[in-house]
Structure 1
Amino acid sequence: MVIEDPAAAAASLDPLRARLLRELAAPSSAAALAAKVGLPRQKVNYHLRSLEEHGLVALLEERRKGNVMERVLQATAASYIISPAALAVVEPDPEHLRDRFSAYWLLALAARTVREVGRLLAGAVAARKELATYAADGEITFASAASRAAFATELGAEVARLAAKYHEPSAPGARRHRLVVVLHPALRPDAAAAGSEPDQEIQP
């Protein structure tokens, strides 16, 4: 689920509520969650109400347990991504910096991808349709900066050739698609865990 509402984003970022979302991958009640997180049921219930209000958890059933009506809830998604649209005032705009060698432009493109695909996916789910997408992911080890630059040049030329071959804007029923190709240094396994910078030169 891609979160666009700022209030829902804030709710999901709260450490306790994030923990509750993780626990609610499987159906549970406030009482069961309270035992897991070590807090009073009333306090857990308060946080669950907020998550429910923002559409992050949903009520599955209500069942009586003694003198109490127990509410069983579950997270509405297996995972969540916060869209840049949640910070619309400072959302990056790829049109402001078109530089294929800029890491900032790459991030702006990635942010736009999250926003656009998130909205398309929400529409597809609501319409009970599949969303046609394609993605490729892999790693290349270059012998030198020169070989990386040569690869980027060849890749750009090949993408341009394929785009020209299949681009038919006047065809009946034609539909525009977004194409984004990125290349960036890979983090070392230890750096990825620690969040430090990759052991690569900065210049492309």
Structure 2
Amino acid sequence: MLDIAVIEDPAAAEASLDPIRSAMLRELAQPASATQLAIRVGLPRQKVNYHLKALERHGLVELVEERRKGNVTERVLQASAASYLISPSALASVSPDPRRFADRFSAFWMLALAGRMVQEVGKLIAGAAAARQKLATFAIDGEVTFRSAAERAAFAEELGVAVSHLVDKYHDAGAATRGRRHRLVVALHPALKTSDQTTTRKEQDND
């Protein structure tokens, strides 16, 4: 089972978004037969079998083992991944293209970059899994609080300069045939407000 699987096929994406099937995928984090799953989700086994066949057809669940019980063979299935992401390629005709924006201050460009990352890294994970190789990636996730919009702008400017210096230092333009090209994306956006923060802000406004 993969930690995360990226869904690229539109039909598979549609199958995963069905409420009943998404609930079944969640339950199949642990292997189960159709009979066991029917009890977990509260549906008739015949209906569960119908949905399982669709999920298996799209590679969203996989056979773990077959158990012989008298004259019946019981199939035990498991979700192919613990979590799923739908790639923009599932909506290829309307997926965002980063080349259309190319504005580092555009939230839409950030979304387009994020979409491309999901699509590309998903394919890389699938390729690495097929080749039984480890995929070399690196990511940083953190939060920073700015006292003002001016400080946020200054931070963004310094960050851009620092990243440019690192790229100039390590990029080898002549290594195209012998080196491996990597994609670098740096993003900065406001953090979503939690309910506690929203309540505190309202209390401050009322003081």
After TM superposition, the structure 1 = structure 2 runs for residues 13-162 of structure 1, keeping only pairs within 5 Å, are 13-162=17-166
- Matches of 2:17 and 2:167, distance apart in 1: 40
- Matches of 1:104 and 1:191, distance apart in 2: 28
**Identity %, equivalent residues:** 68
- The structural deviation recorded for 1:190 is 2.3
- Matches of 1:59 and 1:157, distance apart in 2: 51
After TM superposition, the structure 1 = structure 2 runs for residues 177-192 of structure 1, keeping only pairs within 5 Å, are 177-190=182-195
- Matches of 2:181 and 2:46, distance apart in 1: 50
- Matches of 2:196 and 2:35, distance apart in 1: 39
Letter matched to residue 24 of structure 1: L
Structure 2: give runs of 5+ residues left out of the alignment. 203-207
- Matches of 1:62 and 1:52, distance apart in 2: 15
The two structures, once aligned, show a CA RMSD in angstroms of 1.6
Q: Which runs of 4+ in 1 moved over 6 A?
A: none
Instruction: Spell out, residue by residue over 1:126-176, the C-alpha distance to the aligned partner (whole angstroms, 9 max, x if none).
Output: 000011100000000000000000000100111111101111021362111
- Matches of 2:173 and 2:181, distance apart in 1: 8
TM-score in terms of structure 1 length: 0.91
- Matches of 1:76 and 1:63, distance apart in 2: 19
User: What's the counterpart of residue 195 of structure 1?
Assistant: none
165, 173, 176: which one aligns with 2:178: 173
Letter matched to residue 181 of structure 1: V
- Structure number with greater CO (CA < 8 Å, separation at least 6) is 2
6, 29, 33: which one aligns with 1:2: 6
Change (3 A) 1:56 1:191: farther
Instruction: Spell out, residue by residue over 1:23-57, the C-alpha distance to the aligned partner (whole angstroms, 9 max, x if none).
Output: 11111011111111111101000000000000010
- Matches of 1:12 and 1:24, distance apart in 2: 13
- The structural deviation recorded for 1:189 is 2.0
- Matches of 1:5 and 1:76, distance apart in 2: 15
Aligned positions, number: 193
Instruction: Spell out, residue by residue over 1:64-118, the C-alpha distance to the aligned partner (whole angstroms, 9 max, x if none).
Output: 3344321100111111111000000001000000111110000000000000010
Letter matched to residue 34 of structure 1: A
